[in-house]
Every structure is written in C-alpha cells, then in structure tokens.
C-alpha cells in the first residue's frame, strides 16, 4: 500500500476506498460513481444552477472558487511549469504531467476489454465510445468492440468501389 497515515479511522477508511477501486457513491443524474462522498457532492455541483464565483474579465461564472482561480490563472498567461525534455512551458502542473507522457511513452489509461492503453484519459473514453459530456449507458461491450458501423455509404459496392463510376457519360 502507500503507507499514508491518518489521525482518524474514518479518514483511513475513506482513503482505502481509493485503493480498493470500490465506488459506492453514485450520481443519480449520470450514474458516474465515486469512492468518496465529497467527490460525489463536488461532481453534483455541475448540475447546480448556483454559480456564485464570477470572473471580472469575461463575466463567466463558476460553481467553485477553485474553478474561477484556475480560469484567472490560465487567462493571466503565466507559464509556471517547464518540460525538462523540450522546454515547453505550461501553466498548470497537471498539463505538464500529461505533456511529459509524450516523451516517456507512459500510457496509464488501459481498456480492460482489449488491453489498448492511452496516455490521456480522454483518449481512452473516446475509444470506449464515451465522447459525450456525460457517460452514456451501453448494453454489452463498448461501441468500438461491437463492430457496429451505423454509417453506410450508398455510393460504394461491398468492395469499396464507387457504383456507376465507369457508366457515367462525361
């Protein structure tokens, strides 16, 4: 394990849920699940109409102070983090970490059905067919692995040749 220590047993139990993979707290709107109750509550803010934190530059409002601060920092153009391989400057630490995976070849997001791995979570979700903002529910395997091709070309035959190409009178 990680040897992290806590002064209260309830905090230890909450922390251990991260390691177990158990996600007992589920959003009743989109069915996304979380290991910690506060993470579910934070997630549910996206459905709230309350957005008390407003950017004085662009007037965009946010439901969390941290989201406003992140927006203001990015708008400032300040580049605090630098890649030690290519010297690219980035404004947020997590974007630097994500960028560094390009150089390291690390692909921490793995799809257990086909064992294909990705360097960004969004690429995994796209592969799984979860491209909408909220996770859609699927029956059986994910779309990529169903071999479902709902878009059929009416112009080509079964071998991919364009029908009537040679019978056109030009």
Rounded Cα distance, 16 and 21, in Å: 9
pLDDT of 106 higher than 90: yes
Q: Which of 123, 94, 100 is nearest to 110 (CA)?
A: 123
- The answer to the question of residue 128 being in a domain is no
C-alpha dist (Å) from residue 153 to 49, 141, 145, 149, 163: 43, 25, 21, 10, 11
- The answer to the question of residue 54 being in a domain is no
- The pLDDT mean for the chain works out to 75
Structurally, the chain folds into a number of domains equal to 1
Instruction: Give the residue carrying structure tokens 């040897």.
Output: 3
Instruction: Give the residue carrying structure tokens 């995976």.
Output: 101
Model pLDDT, residue 146: 54
pLDDT of 111 higher than 70: yes
CATH assignment at residue 4: 3.30.160.60
Q: Which residues contact 19 (CB under 8 A, 6 or more apart)?
A: 1, 2
pTM exceeding 0.85: no
Model pLDDT, residue 100: 93
What is the average pLDDT across 108-128? 85
Q: For residue 19, what are the domain limits? A: 1-47
pLDDT of 169 higher than 70: no
- The answer to the question of residue 131 being in a domain is no
Percentage of the chain with pLDDT > 70? 75
pLDDT of 103 higher than 80: yes
Model pLDDT, residue 145: 59
Strand ranges inside the chain, DSSP E: 25-26, 33-34, 53-54, 61-62, 81-82, 89-90, 109-110, 117-118
């Amino acid at each position: 394990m990680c040897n992290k220590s806590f002064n209260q047993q309830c905090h230890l139990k909450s922390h251990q849920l991260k390691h177990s993979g158990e996600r007992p707290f589920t959003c009743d709107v989109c069915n996304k699940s979380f290991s910690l109750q506060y993470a579910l509550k934070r997630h549910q803010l996206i459905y709230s109409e309350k957005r008390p934190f407003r950017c004085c530059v662009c007037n965009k409002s946010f439901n969390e102070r941290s989201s406003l601060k992140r927006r203001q920092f990015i708008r400032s153009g300040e580049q605090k983090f630098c890649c030690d391989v290519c010297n690219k400057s980035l404004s947020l630490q997590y974007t630097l970490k994500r960028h560094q995976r390009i150089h390291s070849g690390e692909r921490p997001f793995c799809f257990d059905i086909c064992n294909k791995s990705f360097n960004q979570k969004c690429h995994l979700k796209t592969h799984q067919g979860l491209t909408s903002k909220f996770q859609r529910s699927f029956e059986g395997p994910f779309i990529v692995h169903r071999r479902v091709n709902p878009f059929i070309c009416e112009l080509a035959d079964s071998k991919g040749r364009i029908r009537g190409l040679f019978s056109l009178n030009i």
